[in-house]
Amino acid sequence: MRVFLSCLVCRIVTFVLHKLGRGATSMPGKVALKVKRNVLKDLSENTKVIVVTGTNGKTTSCRILEEGLKKAGKSYFINKSGANLITGVTASFIMNSTITGKCKKDYAIIECDENAFKEVSRYIHCDVILVTNVFRDQLDRYGEVTHTLNAIKESVKNLPNAIVCLDADCSLTYSMSKEIPNKIITFGVNVPFDKNAKAPEISDAKYCIFCKHEYDYTYHTYGHLGGFVCPNCGYKRPQPDFAVESVEEMKNDHSVVVANLNGDRNIIRVNIGGAYNIYNAIGCAAALTAFGIDEKTVIDAIEHFNGAFGRMEHFKAGDNTVNLILVKNPAGFSQTMNFLKNIDDDFTLILSLNDNAADGRDISWIWDVDFAGIFEKANVKEIYVTGKRCYDMAVRVKYEGVGNREIKIIENEDYNKLVDIATSQGRDVYIVPTYTSMMAMRPVIAKRLGGKDFWE
């Protein structure tokens, strides 16, 4: 009876919120959990579930996995809105179940916040867990990286029967393999993206997690990812089960790689650009294979998926494109700057910084961002900053050095003005916002330039 009531109130709240034009991603689940705290256990019981967690790449990875299940002809659902706390996960299950709590789909793709996974893992049935990576994130919410790592490790231990896919290039993530009972599949990139890449000045994992000796590296991809080895205790990167063996091409809208998928070598075109999306692709190849999807379908999914909302999302503005790239932490921001540095065409850059709870109140992390010399390039024609902390971002950019360019400020989070500016440039525009800024500006962009609501 309580499962029925939980499902009923969730549906009623969802209906009302949608009528009011709101996303209804978390509140319905919050109400449902008040009725039955462990309702997720009943809802997920007969469903094949894959959980995606980690610091960066969760939402994009879920889109690749979705494309894989779609092309495999599977019946599935996904918490597409990115509502990745237990409230959002519960609401997603209820809205894809009967009123009595029986899931209508055979498969579920669940994006889960690293901290929320501790509670979700107590109730959910799970077949595969994909851990993308562990980087330093919002300090006032997650603390240091070891806190995030321990949260994921504790969660995985609650699900000993799940197959766990780990990033072999991340010394933090892979260290879990020594302490969890699960079957493990590893993925990684065997080569640097830039042959001239040096060790980052600021690393989230400079010292061995086991003996605290400084790591040596045979190569770096980005951040602390790469061929790590501890010369003291011998902890080192393994040879991954799923590996990118070479990067043949990296463009702003795609990459071409040679990948070894559990012993089979393939040339694969990753359908959106960026080094981090190569990691997302190879991680999803491992996860989809663990989920029983055949190799041909896995490759097809990687080559045809579309970016998630706000993540390499494109909006047409006449002959030009307005691009939205979410950033949340130093590693992701740095990689976005590195991606933009490699664009040859002229473009306008708009940076947007908020400090709401979901962004993290502490914005000192922007000083750890590596701008990769982007402002030395003449094709970055104009620079704008906006968001609640636009002046802090302006100071950060000024200290980086922008030559003779003016740093222009869009005050009061005026996103209609932002769209006016973006559509009047006569060139492509790249908007780089933090989370709540993206969530606030995207409906304005989508309404004026065309696009779905974020929960669709």
- Positive or negative, the CA dihedral 82, 84, 85, 89 is positive
- Positive or negative, the CA dihedral 6, 12, 14, 20 is negative
Q: In three state form, how does the secondary structure of 72-116 look?
A: CCCCEEECCCCCCCHHHHHHHHHHCECCCCCECCCEEEEECCCCC
Q: Which of 106, 140, 253, 362 is catalytic?
A: 362
Q: Is 194 a catalytic residue?
A: no
Alpha-carbon Rg for the chain, nearest whole angstrom, is 22
| Whole-number Å distance between alpha carbons of 6 and 29 | 9
Residue 218's closest CA among 228, 207, 230, 208? 228
- Positive or negative, the CA dihedral 437, 439, 444, 449 is positive
Name the H helices within 354-434. Answer: 390-400, 415-423
Name the H helices within 164-274. Answer: 171-174
Residues annotated as catalytic (active site), given as ranges: 362
